[in-house]
Structure 1
Amino acid sequence: MHNDPSNENGILHSWQQNAEAWTNTVRDGLIESRRLVTDRAIVDAVLDGQPRSVLDLGCGEGWLVRALATRGIQAVGVDAVPALIARASERGGEFQVASYEDIAAGRLPLRVDALVCNFALLGKESAERLVASLPSLLSEDGRFVVQTVHPLVACGEQAYVDGWRQEGWTGFGTAFPSPAPWYFRTLASWVGLFAETGWHLCEMREPLHPETGRPASVIFILQRH
């Protein structure tokens, strides 16, 4: 897929179409890596910083906000897809519709101890603008925690170079109506993105799948310079 603006627009369009399927997939525990590894990994990474307040950016159907709230943390979730926010709100918690463009433009008047993006930095320019804008939302000594697909595993048979890919939803256990574009970054590109936008990489974790022994994801724990 070529680097053109339609890919960025396609992310939101596809997730609007896939909101119901995604919600059902997460709530039914149909993604093995999440069930076995990555859900617990992101919760642990956030809790390690002992935050009192957390903002989940691209919260989807809201499971992480609810998981943190049960541990006494004031958690808020935002997502650009109204259907996902509607489903998230069904089960309780604080949620609101906000796009990454809204956040980058400073339209979210919040300050929290931790920011989280859990498999939610899907675009190229949209992710770059968002990551650069986030320090204003973070309290002093706050942490920014990012979990994403591990590039070495997610690369598959394709070349290990940055570029747009297409998520076909194979192996997700349910029918998704729309393929979804996403921007693949190498490990070096992720590290470079954070450095260029003023973040200090404190720690990088590679949670392993217990059966395959391969990385199920990569987690970056960052603080402001």
Structure 2
Amino acid sequence: MNGFCDEAILGAWRENAAPWIEAVRSGSIESRRLVTDHAIVSAIRRLQPATVLDVGCGEGWLARALAPLGMQVHGIDAVPELVAAARLAGGGTFECLSYEAFAEGAPVTPAALAVCNFSLLGDEATRGVIRRLGSLLPPHGNLLIQTLHPGFAVTDAERAEGWRAGSWAGCGDAFGRAAPWYFRTLAGWLALLQEAGFQLRAMHEPRHPLTGVPCSVIFEAAIVPERDH
């Protein structure tokens, strides 16, 4: 498998934590600066949650963006270096927690909305996170997932689900080994959500202002109690 696995993702992120923090805080990643950061904040504002669980919070930029809006954010991430940077910058509460521990039921701060902003890159780890969120969120609780757009993220003619080599293209020259990622089709994402008890409410396609090409897709889903079916 050429090292393509969930564990390889974590290793690569630990190696590249410092340049990632610099890239995010300097605004050097064009797609984030022009499109995707604003897109996820806007999606959250539309839902108006009082509390937010940021799964894969990284260095904590989203908590800092939401704090002035009166939202309480608790972030979790598996990379200790990123969590330490988030704590120093403030804006929310943060803890280091692996996706595996989260999936197995580790206690976390309750929230009305869970956000996974480009943080679901693996295979089984992603399945575990979504399943846990399906049991963790309250009835009618919401989930936002922003990820690479399945229609534009790969150039493979077959577009079959599976592992792909990663890249730091567009992030700068200071990065080392890139983390692999698991490509899912649109049908694959929707099946994961349905299996965990979510119902898709909306799907957004944030587009680059110059090219018009979608930079990502945002799935907006909600827990639907049995009595509402």
Using the size of structure 2 for normalisation, the TM-score is 0.93
1:31 alignment partner, one of 29, 32, 35: 29
Indicate the residue corresponding to 1:191 in structure 2: 190
Indicate the residue corresponding to 1:48 in structure 2: 46
Q: Which runs of 4+ in 1 moved over 6 A?
A: none
Higher mean displacement: 76-85 or 99-108: 99-108
State the distance in 1 between where 2:158 and 2:132 align: 31
Rate the CA distance shift 1:179–1:109 in 2: closer, same or farther, 3 A: closer
Give 1:168-187 correspondences, 5 Å limit.
Answer: 168-187=167-186
Kindly provide the amino acid, as one letter, of the partner of residue 132 in structure 1: R
Q: CA deviation at 1:7?
A: 1.0
Conserved in 2, the CA contact under 8 Å of 1:204 and 1:218?
yes
Matched position secondary structure for 1:160: coil
Indicate the residue corresponding to 2:17 in structure 1: 19
Aligned pairs, number: 223
Conserved in 1, the CA contact under 8 Å of 2:79 and 2:96?
yes
Matched position secondary structure for 1:215: coil
Give 1:99-118 correspondences, 5 Å limit.
Answer: 99-118=98-117
Matched position secondary structure for 2:159: coil
Kindly provide the amino acid, as one letter, of the partner of residue 178 in structure 1: R
Kindly provide the amino acid, as one letter, of the partner of residue 79 in structure 1: D
Give 1:59-208 correspondences, 5 Å limit.
Answer: 59-92=57-90, 93-157=92-156, 159-208=158-207
Matched position secondary structure for 1:154: coil
- Tell me the C-alpha RMSD between the 2 structures: 1.5
Kindly provide the amino acid, as one letter, of the partner of residue 188 in structure 1: A
Conserved in 1, the CA contact under 8 Å of 2:40 and 2:117?
yes
Matched position secondary structure for 1:144: strand
Q: CA deviation at 1:158?
A: 5.4
Q: CA deviation at 1:157?
A: 4.5
Matched position secondary structure for 2:139: strand
State the distance in 2 between where 1:216 and 1:148 align: 9
Higher mean displacement: 170-179 or 48-57: 170-179
State the distance in 2 between where 1:159 and 1:171 align: 25
Q: Which has the higher strand share?
A: 1
Kindly provide the amino acid, as one letter, of the partner of residue 186 in structure 2: L
Residues 92-141 of structure 1 show CA distances to partners (whole Å, capped at 9, x for unaligned) of: 13111011111111112322110000000000111001101113332232
Higher mean displacement: 191-200 or 215-224: 191-200
Q: CA deviation at 1:170?
A: 2.1
- Identity value in percent: 49
Indicate the residue corresponding to 1:211 in structure 2: 210
Residues 31-68 of structure 1 show CA distances to partners (whole Å, capped at 9, x for unaligned) of: 11110111011011111111000010000111001111
State the distance in 2 between where 1:108 and 1:178 align: 32
Matched position secondary structure for 1:48: helix
Kindly provide the amino acid, as one letter, of the partner of residue 72 in structure 1: G
State the distance in 1 between where 2:5 and 2:108 align: 29
Kindly provide the amino acid, as one letter, of the partner of residue 65 in structure 2: A
Matched position secondary structure for 1:25: helix
Kindly provide the amino acid, as one letter, of the partner of residue 95 in structure 2: Q
State the distance in 2 between where 1:174 and 1:120 align: 22
1:223 aligns with 2:227: no
Conserved in 2, the CA contact under 8 Å of 1:102 and 1:108?
no
Listed as ranges, the gaps of 5+ residues in structure 1 are none
